[in-house]
Each structure stands twice: as structure tokens, then as C-alpha cells.
Amino acid sequence: MDSPEAAARRVAELLADAVRAAQEIALTGGSTPARAYELAAELEPDWSDAGVWWGDERCVPPDDERSNFGLAKRTLLDNLESKPGRIHRIRGEDEPAAAAADYDRELRGMTLDLVLLGLGPDGHVASLFPDAPGLDERERLVVSAEPTLEPYVERVTLTLHALRAARRIVFLVAGAAKAEAVERALAGPPEPAVPGSMVRSDAGETLAVLDRDAASRLRD
């Protein structure tokens, strides 16, 4: 995509299509998706048939400016004419292990149709950080995690196992600071040092929506 705006618009279109198909959608945090969320609310203001989930959460209350739910509320949910019929928030205000166990129960038996993910400059996705102990988790769908990048608050995150079960995974990445991480996550071998390289849909598709700067180290 030529610009961050074009990448945000493409993701907004994918979100709007998923909403119109009444799908189960997992949102991401960080700063990159904000514009995509605003555009998605403009493209499709009726989310009443959709289910909304989160791939990870920072362990702060929902009205804290670092909250991933809070970001989606400000940029997406508050701008809708009809709210999603099902909002599955990770309870960042709870004790992390308890919040993870509760979300695991909520997610179990559910297939996510679309999981939106960002990518950190260190190659992390959701709150799965490089070489984190939870990367080889096979049973749990959701775990608590310690961040190795700002903001330094505990996290609750879907596991690789849970992310890979999604029907469609979409990475949204913008900016030159992410170019090396994009190269390693999308064009390199799968390795725990770059969790993004280990996230691919088991049975569905994995897409990357990148702006020109983020894609600059990929070959055509």
C-alpha cells in the first residue's frame, strides 16, 4: 500500500466485510489500528450482527489510555450507530492469571473468523514477546505475560495455538521502524525470537497489509 492511510483503509474494508458477514472478529491494540477502526466505523456503522474479541490486553482498567479495549472504544465502538451484538472484552482490571483463565473459558469452542494483529519492532504479536515462556503453550488459549517493551504493564494474550486456529489472520503494519520486523516475521523462518514468524492460520489464510515503508525490506 502506498501510505499508512491506504493500509488503514484496506483493513477497514476487511473489517466491514467481516461485520456484514456477522463474523467473530478479534481486534488488536497498539497505535497503528486507530485509523483503521475510525474508517471501519464510517464504512459500516452497524455492527449489531458481529462479535468482537481482543487478541491481547494490557492489565489496566478499560478507561485507562493504555487499554486496548479503550482504544477500540474511542476510535470504533463509540462511533457506531449499532454496537456489536457480542463484545468480549479481556478484563484488564482483574488479576492477570484470573483474567486469562476467564477469557480462555469465554473463547473455548469458538472459532474466530478474523484476527487482526499488529507487529512490534521486536517481532512480537499480540502480547507474545520474543522467546517468551508461553510460546510453546499447547493447551491454554489465553495466558498472562510480561512485556519486554513499553508500556510495561502485565498483559493477557491469546496463545499462538489460539491465534493459529483463526480462519483468517490479518497483519496491519506501517512505518520504516517495522521494516526489519516485517522481513523477519513474513519472509524469515519461523522462530521463537520473532513470534510474528510463528503466526499463520492453520487451516485458513494469513494476509499482511503493509505500507510502503514497512514493506521496504521485502522482495517483490
Q: What residue ranges bind ligand 6PG (CB under 6 A)? A: 28-32, 56, 58, 68, 118, 120, 124-127
Q: How far is the CB of 26 from ligand 6PG (least distance, A)?
A: 10
C-alpha cell at 83: 454496537
Instruction: Write down the residue that cell numbers 515503508 correspond to.
Output: 213
Q: How far is the CB of 159 from ligand 6PG (least distance, A)?
A: 14
Q: Which is nearer to ligand 6PG, 121 or 204 (CB)?
A: 121
Helix, strand, coil % in the chain, rounded to nearest 5? 35, 20, 45
Would you state the torsion angle of the CA atoms of residues 134, 215, 217, 165, taken in this order, to the nearest 10 degrees?
A: 30
Q: Which is nearer to ligand 6PG, 23 or 127 (CB)?
A: 127
- Alpha-helix residue ranges (DSSP H) falling in the chain: 4-20, 33-43, 68-75, 96-107, 160-164, 179-182
Q: Which is nearer to ligand 6PG, 49 or 94 (CB)?
A: 94
Q: How far is the CB of 44 from ligand 6PG (least distance, A)?
A: 22
Q: How far is the CB of 93 from ligand 6PG (least distance, A)?
A: 15
- Supply φ then ψ for residue 81, to 5 degrees: -80, -40
Q: Which is nearer to ligand 6PG, 36 or 50 (CB)?
A: 36
Q: Please state, in angstroms and rounded to a whole number, the distance separating the CA atoms of residues 142 and 45.
A: 30
